[in-house]
Amino acid sequence: MISNWIKKEAQAIENLGIQMQYKFKGSPKVVKFAQLLSLQLEHRSTQISYGVFVMDWKFFFATLCVVFSDILVLFG
């Protein structure tokens, strides 16, 4: 569910970058920025970050499993 939302948002940002290229053809800095943004979004997988740290999904799910197993042991 989250990955579909991230892909949809990345596609929207990429489309916005393409629209910026067409609207600001007179400004080379804006066009270059929009091109770089669309290339980065197109070729890199989208990542969730909190602060400066990128979310490590293996660590997140391992921590979640440990929490649930401790809850089962304590209350089961």
Does the pTM of the predicted model rise above 0.75?
no
Buried b (16+ CB within 10 A) or exposed e, 13-35: ebeebeebbeeeeeeeeebeebe
Whole-Å CA distances, 11 to 17, 29, 31, 33, 57: 10, 22, 18, 16, 22
| Torsion angle of C-alpha atoms 42, 48, 51, 57, degrees rounded to 10 | -130
**Sequence letter at residue 1:** M
Distance CA 14, CA 31 (A): 13
pLDDT of residue 9: 78
Q: Could you read off the pLDDT of 29-63 as tens digits, one per residue?
A: 877 777 777 777 666 666 666 677 777 777 778 88
